[in-house]
């Protein structure tokens, strides 16, 4: 059964699941991770789509892309959110309305503890408060500030980074240090001590946003890690203390075949046991690729995924244009954007256009490519193209360039 792997995500019950896209029909599917995985990669990759940061609406895509990317340019630049990734609360160049709305919602600043004493600072919107921690694999953390906007949260984060606390922990580090070396009580203490150090840094307006630390822990995930990664052979040291040993494991780099029993997930890391060997897999490197799922028979395609602190609506259709034609007032601009239509086509402006009068001519009936159009439909399409050329010459004093969107 061929499926595109869109990603590993977490539901409101702190349980991981696979987001897949059906190869034949292009429908988005969400399944509980099978106990036994028998997966083989096929060298084809599609865009994983995008998410409206404010409404949490997932917008599906089926554009074929290169191995080096996970999104097509259309999805990457659909919203201005890519500009927010490295934002530190300075001058904002974002113009998209939904991204601005998102930034003007309450945000949190958190400290997350990773094994071997690594502490990271980060931000999370109130919409994604706990889901953000799960995505990061932050099993132990504290929220230390609550701000009215994302901009202020980023400013606080930048101040903390400038004073020696990292803002990023790589997936490689997380896999190399998969088992926690300290008990929860000691981890709490270390996070609170770090918070006290941070209090000394703030003397300006942003200090009022610091809050009494709110400790968070996902002990069920930690227990699964311990149960699978720690040896049952207990060694006793000179002080009669019992020490469990970490089982040998490998970080799997070649993802052509993923076989074995599913053990646990943490963040975007998937752990399986293959013939007695524990393998850790960075599922970010699987995103977009086509896989043959050899042992999945019944898919829970009606499963609804809800982000903690806010529902994420999932577009089940392979094509956002088809969804828009069902109700033209529900578009990416939250109103009808249709400029013209014929019996078989509609014309509307795209978002994030690179030039003036960047229009889409979209067939009303879903097709895989324009080669599927009938002779009559091709004549209809050519008349629309001619009309667009005339508009460009008359009003924009420019020539026209055309390409088939799905094949770019």
- pLDDT tens for each residue of 227-282: 999 986 655 444 455 567 899 999 999 999 999 999 999 999 999 999 999 999 99
* 19 occurs within a structural domain: no
More confident: 158 or 394 = 158
Contact 245, 231 (CB under 8 A): yes
Predicted pLDDT at 11: 85
So what's the pLDDT on residue 148?
Answer: 97
Determine, yes or no, domain membership for 266. Answer: no
Give the pLDDT confidence score for residue 308 in this predicted structure: 39
pLDDT digits (tens, 9 = 90+) for 169-214: 999 999 999 999 899 999 999 999 999 999 998 877 899 999 999 9
Which residues pair with residue 22 across a beta bridge? 3
> Over the stretch 322-371, which tens digit does the pLDDT of each residue have?
767 766 765 556 678 888 889 889 998 876 566 777 888 889 887 767 77
Average pLDDT of every residue of the chain: 85
396 belongs to a structural domain:
yes
Q: Is residue 376 part of a domain?
A: yes
Q: Percent of the chain beyond pLDDT 90?
A: 49
Mean pLDDT for 94-105 is 89
pLDDT at 394 > cutoff 80: yes
56 — pLDDT class (breaks 50, 70, 90) = confident
Residues 94-98 have a mean pLDDT of: 86
Residue 120: beta bridge partners?
A: 112, 166
Q: According to the model, what pLDDT value does residue 348 have?
A: 85
Residue 365 has a pLDDT of: 82
pLDDT at position 84, please?
79
Q: 28 in a domain, yes or no?
A: no
User: Does residue 407 carry a pLDDT above 60?
Assistant: no
Quick one: what percent of the chain has pLDDT higher than 70?
Answer: 86
Cβ count near 373 (within 10 Å): 17
Query: SS3 sequence, the chain?
Result: CEEEEEEEEECCCCCEEEEEEECCCCCEEEEECCCEEEEEEEEEEECCCEECCCCCCEECCCCECCCCCCCCHHHHCCCHHHHHCCCCCCCCCCCCHHHHHHHCCCEEEEEEEECCCEEEEEEEEHHHHHHHHHHHCCCEEEEEEEECCHHHHHHHHHHHHHCCCECCCCHHHHHHCCCCCCCHHHHHHHHHHHHHHHHCCCCCHHHHHEEEEEEEECHHHHHHHHHHHEEEEEEECCCCCEEEEECCEEECCCCCEEEEEEEEEECCEEEEEECCEEEEEEHHHHCCEEEEECCCCCCCCCCCCEECCEECCECCCCCHHHHHHHCCCCCCCCCCCCCEECCCEEEEECCCCCCCCCEEEEECCCCCCHHHCCHHHHHHHHHHHHHHHHHHHHHCCCCCCCCCHHHC
Between strands 118-125 and 107-114, the pairing is antiparallel
Could you tell me which residues are beta bridge partners of residue 307?
A: 310
pLDDT computed for residue 306 by the predictor:
44
Is this prediction's pTM over 0.85? no
**How confident is the model at residue 337, as a pLDDT?**
84
Measured CA to CA in angstroms, residue 7 lies from 47, 86, 329 at distances of 11, 22, 29
7 occurs within a structural domain = no
Read off the pLDDT of residues 291-332 as tens digits, 9 standing for 90 and up. Answer: 999 876 544 444 444 443 444 444 444 466 776 776 676 555
Is the pLDDT reported for residue 408 higher than 60?
no
Number of domains composing the chain: 1
Q: 338 lies in which domain range?
A: 330-407
pLDDT at 106 over 60: yes
Residue 348 covered by a domain: yes
Beta bridge partners of 165: none
State the pLDDT at residue 317. Answer: 41
What was the pLDDT predicted at 157?
Answer: 95
């Amino acid at each position: 059964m061929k499926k595109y792997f869109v990603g590993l995500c977490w539901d409101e019950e702190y349980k991981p699941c696979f987001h897949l896209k059906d190869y034949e029909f292009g429908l988005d599917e969400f399944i509980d991770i099978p106990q036994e995985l028998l997966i083989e990669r096929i060298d084809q990759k599609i865009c994983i789509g995008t998410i409206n940061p404010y409404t949490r609406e997932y917008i599906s895509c089926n554009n074929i892309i290169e191995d080096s990317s996970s999104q097509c340019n259309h999805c990457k630049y659909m919203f201005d959110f890519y500009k927010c990734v490295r934002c530190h609360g300075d001058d904002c160049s974002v113009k998209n309305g939904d991204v601005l709305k998102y930034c003007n919602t309450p945000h949190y600043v958190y400290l997350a503890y990773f094994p071997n004493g690594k502490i990271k600072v980060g931000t999370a919107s109130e919409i994604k408060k706990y889901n953000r921690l799960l995505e990061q694999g932050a099993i132990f953390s504290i929220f230390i500030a609550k701000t009215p906007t994302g901009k202020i949260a980023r400013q606080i984060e930048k101040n903390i980074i400038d004073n020696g606390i990292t803002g990023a922990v790589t997936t490689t580090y997380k896999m190399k240090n998969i088992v926690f070396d300290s008990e929860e009580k000691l981890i709490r203490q270390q996070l609170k001590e770090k918070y006290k150090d941070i209090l000394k840094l703030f003397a300006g307006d942003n200090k009022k946003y610091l809050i009494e630390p709110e400790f968070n822990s996902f002990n069920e995930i930690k227990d699964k890690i311990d149960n699978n990664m720690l040896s049952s052979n207990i060694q006793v040291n000179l002080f009669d203390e019992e020490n469990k040993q970490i089982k040998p494991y490998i970080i799997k780099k070649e993802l052509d075949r993923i076989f074995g029993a599913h053990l646990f997930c943490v963040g975007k890391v998937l752990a399986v046991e293959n013939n007695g060997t524990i393998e850790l897999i960075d599922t970010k490197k699987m995103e977009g690729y086509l896989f043959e799922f050899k042992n999945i028979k019944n898919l829970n395609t009606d499963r609804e995924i809800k982000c903690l602190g806010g529902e994420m609506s999932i577009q089940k259709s392979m094509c956002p244009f088809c969804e828009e034609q069902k109700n033209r007032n529900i578009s990416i601009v939250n109103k009808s954007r249709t400029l013209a239509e014929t019996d078989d086509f509609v014309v509307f402006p795209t978002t994030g256009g690179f030039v003036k009068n960047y229009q889409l001519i979209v067939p009303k009936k879903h097709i895989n490519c324009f080669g599927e159009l009938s002779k009559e439909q091709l004549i209809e399409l050519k008349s629309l193209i001619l009309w667009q050329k005339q508009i460009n010459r008359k009003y924009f004093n420019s020539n026209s360039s055309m390409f088939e969107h799905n094949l770019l």
